[in-house]
Structure 1
C-alpha cells in the first residue's frame, strides 16, 4: 500500500516494514534479534527458527526494494550477543554494501564495539531527516518534524461478518507521529483505538488494509 505522509511517498509492506523511495531507505522497528535465544537461556522453550524467519523476511524485503539504507527505529537487538545475534552477523556479511542505521531502543544494550563490528551506525536518541524524525518512543512534545517511532508494537482488532474478532499488527499514523509495527513475529500487540484524524493500516496475511 502506498500512502502520502508530509509530502513523501511511503510504501507500507505486509512484511511489517516501510519503504521510503525518495531516500532508498527501508524502515523497520523492534527486530528484537536474540530475543528467542534469550528466552531459551532462561529455560523457556522457544523455537530457534523464530530469529531465522525474521531474517528471511528481511532478505525478501532486500530483494523487493533493493534499499541503500536499512533504518531501525529501536530494539534491533534484545540485550546481548547470543546465537540469534550470530545469525544476524552472517546475514550482515551477505549485505556488505547496505548502510545500517539504528536509533537505540530500550533493549539495545550491545557494546559500542559490537555495533562497530557489525557495521551499524548508531544514534542514541534520534535521527533527523526532513520531514521526519526517527525515534524509538513517541515524544511528548512536537515540532515541525513528523515523528516515526516504534516501541509499543501496535495492533488493531478487525471484526468479521460472523462477529468474530481478529487481531493484527498495524501501522499507526497520527497527526504528529507514526508508530511502526514490531518487525519480529515474536512480540505481543498493544491494541490501539484510533482518534479523529488517525490513520490505521492493518497487516493481514494477504495485504495491508486501511481500517
Structure 2
C-alpha cells in the first residue's frame, strides 16, 4: 500500500476519489475508473478489452489500433499510485481469443511488466476471454471470494453473497445546474456492485435501460458517475 493520509485527503477534496461502503468494506472509487479496497490492499479493474481496436479494424472499422497502448499506460499510472498487493482484472481483459496475436510486441512486453509490478495479479475469466492467453503472467480464475463477498465477471442470480461484477459497462447521463453530463459510473445496491469498463474503446450501457433496472432498481441503487477526472454521487 503506497497511499498516505495526505494523498487521500487531497484526492477526496479534489473529487478525484470518493469513499463508499459495500459488503462491510470501505471502498475508494477512483475517477479514473478503478476501485481500491484499503483493508486488503486490492485494486479492482474491469473490462480492459485489450485489442478491441485491432479487432474492429479487421472488420473495416476506421479506428486506430492504439487502444491497448492507451489502456496500459492509464493502468500503469494508477498502479504506480496505489502500489497494491493484488490487482483483480474482473473479466473481458482481452477482447477475443486472438487478441495476443494482434498485439504489438511493445504492448505485450508492457503488459507483462505491468503484471510483474505487483505481487499478485488475478485474471477473472469473462465471456470474451474464458482462457488466459499463453505467455501472460498472472493467475486465471473464475471467481474470488472475500468473506461474504464474491468477485466474478457476470452475476449469478441465485447468489446469496454480495457480488462484485463487470460485464455491463455502466454509464449515466445527468444534468447539473442546466449542464448535461455523460460518463461511466459505478453503481450498486446492498447485494450487487457493478464496475465500469476501463478499456479505451469500451462503450457503455445506460443504467436506466431495462436490463440494468432489473439488476439494480432505482429505489435500491446508488450511483457514482465520473467525468473529466471528477467523481460524484448522483
TM, length-normalised to structure 2:
0.81
Comparing 16-25 and 36-45, the one that deviates more:
36-45
Match of 1:203 in 2: 226
Looking at structure 2, the residues matched to 140 and 95 of structure 1 have their Cα atoms a distance apart, in angstroms, of 32
Q: Name 2:44's counterpart in structure 1.
A: 27
Deviation per residue, 1:117-144 (Å, 9 max, x gap):
21121113x221223200111221231x
Structure 2 unpaired stretches of 5+: 1-17, 209-216
3-state SS, counterpart of residue 42 of structure 1: coil
Confirm or deny that 1:83 pairs with 2:102: yes
The Cα offsets for residues 56-95 of structure 1, whole Å up to 9 and x where unpaired, read as: 1101111110012110111010112133374144232255
| Superposition map of 1:37-186 within 5 A | 37-79=54-96, 80=98, 81-84=100-103, 86=105, 87-98=107-118, 99-110=120-131, 114=134, 117-124=135-142, 126-143=143-160, 145-162=161-178, 164-186=179-201
Separation (CA, whole Å) in 2 of partners of 1:58 and 1:41? 26
RMSD of equivalent CA atoms:
1.8
Match of 1:63, SS? Answer: helix
CA-to-aligned-CA distance 1:131-172 (integer Å, 9 cap, x gap): 3200111221231x210001010011111433x533210001
8 Å Cα contact 1:153/1:181 also seen in 2: yes
Which runs of no fewer than 5 residues in structure 1 stay unpaired? none
Does the CA contact (< 8 Å) of 2:22 and 2:190 recur in 1? Answer: no
Relative distance call for 1:57 and 1:175 in structure 2 (3 A) is: same
